[in-house]
Amino acid sequence: VIRLVETARRHDLSMPEPETPLVERPWEDVARMLSVDDALRIVLDAVHPLAPVVVPLLEAVGLVAAEPVVADQAIPPFTNSAMDGYAVRASDTLGASVPHPVRLRVVGQLAAGYASRVEISSGTAARIMTGAPLPDGADAVVRFEETDEPERAAAGTTGDTRRSCVGIVRAAKPYDNVRPPGEDVAPGDAIVRAGARLRPAEIGLLAAINRATVAVHPRPRVAILSTGDEVIDVGSRLQPGQIRNSNSYTLAAMVMRAGGIPVMLGIARDRTDDLTEKLNLARGADLIVTSGGVSLGDYDMVKDVLREQGTIQIWQVRMKPGKPLAFGRIGSTPLLGLPGNPVAAAVSFEVFGIPAMRRMMGHADLEPSTIEATLIERIDNRGQRRHFVRARVARSPGGEWQVATAGQQGAGVLSSLARANGLLVIPEDLEVAEPGMRLPVRMLD
Ligand code: AMP
Ligand code: MG
């Protein structure tokens, strides 16, 4: 490595050949590159929420409702006790205190799950459990703690509670510890709107009104294809010159985490027939994602095949890592062609693929959570591209979010992406990010 670097330095390989004018090297001409925002807009304009499907409740977790749901019944359906205690008439308990308890005759024992058959008249009470229907005649519940029952229990003199008396030691007001029907949801209430994300609470509400299924935008099926003669899959023996297919796995994991279903199409050799055949397997997917073969390398024929199979544009996007990007359609299926370098592929998918998936899933909010953090080191950003820096965000002892790079930023260095919990975004026109600057960080965790 050192020898290579020295050779490069001797020959100054990093300098562009001065005799070639910039306009003839469009890939180096930032003015002719597509901005990240324009590229994202084109991608998002080309995808739409997937047609709704009806799924069992637990398959809807994390998905977006495609129908409004209006309650046709009350939750709770009947008046019930919010506490374990005694159902009483509040007026009977006036003036009750520890030194002067009001004594009531206990006329029944009411457990949750049964209709009440007792009636509370003046001077009586019923022992009642949380969730049990409030008996007729009662208008309040006095908690056990506000009766003499704990005391008697401690003294071992509870006796038969159905025939005994209870001492109330605190006055109750009407409706104390009583849940009226519809306290939570009344008939006609909108409990889920179309476009709402179905989180555990929404799932629970749907169950509470007896819905076993709900219409949602389905999980997108994302076909993932890696390309390259040098790429081999996990489990096979590495020959000289070969590298392991990590991209398919990183991308599939990202798809799963975003709520989609990855469809692994394996690896296509850099040959027209192999690529064509593998792309055929992708028909029926909601999105096709390829990695590799969109850069300027001589052996990259992905672009040519894509152009033959569908309508594809190859872009140079003003971003780092991940400048080359292909986007278009194979048949009617949108295709996102990512660069092969592992981090370029992952970051490009994060920036373009995840928002596209989120639109397909019906999410209104397509952007990741972003925080603003104070940079604690200097980062160069020559080249006028938007730099997504693998970074670690942490709170300072003073409670402020601070951000630093998570290691080497080479487009092939996946381990620094693994160390990162966010992508620090340095704007295109900021040549040097200085310590102390407040900059946005797209959170990965
Ligand atoms: P390409 O965009 O095809 O020119 O590939 C750029 C770099 O990414 C090369 O070093 C490839 O070996 C590497 N690469 C391509 N595909 C994969 C993959 N599926 N997994 C890991 N690295 C890859
Ligand atoms: Mg390649």
Asked if the model's pLDDT at residue 213 lies above 90, the reply is yes
Stretch 213-235: mean pLDDT:
97
310 vs 317: CA distance, rounded Å? 21
62 CB within 6 A, ligand 1: no
Peptide bond into 321 cis (omega under 30): yes
* One-letter identity of residue 133: P
More confident residue, 75 or 17: 75
Ligand at minimal distance from the CA of 245 is: 1
More confident residue, 408 or 29: 408
More confident residue, 113 or 308: 113
User: pLDDT category, 369, cuts 50, 70, 90?
Assistant: very high
Q: Which residue has the tokens 């038969």?
A: 160
Ligand at minimal distance from the CA of 232 is: 1
207, containing H or E segment? helix 200-208
321 CB within 6 A, ligand 1: no
Instruction: Answer yes or no: pTM beyond 0.85.
Output: yes
405 vs 389: CA distance, rounded Å? 7
Q: Which residue has the tokens 């297919």?
A: 245
Q: Whose CA is nearest to atom 16 of ligand 1?
A: 340
pLDDT at 345: 98
- The 3-class secondary structure across 230-272, one letter per residue, is CEECCCCCCCCCCEECCHHHHHHHHHHHCCCEEEEEEEECCCH
What pLDDT, in 10s, does the model give residues 173-205?
A: 999 999 999 999 999 999 999 999 999 999 999
pLDDT at 299: 64
User: pLDDT category, 14, cuts 50, 70, 90?
Assistant: very low
292 CB within 6 A, ligand 1: yes
Ligand 1 mean position to 228 CA, how many Å?
Answer: 7
Best residue among 244, 291, 296, 343 to mutate for probing ligand 1, ranked by most atoms within 8 Å of CB:
291
Ligand 1 mean position to 344 CA, how many Å?
Answer: 10
Q: Which two tokens stand for residue 338?
A: 């990512």
Best residue among 238, 243, 271, 343 to mutate for probing ligand 1, ranked by most atoms within 8 Å of CB:
243
What pLDDT, in 10s, does the model give residues 328-368?
A: 999 999 999 999 999 999 999 999 999 999 999 999 999 99
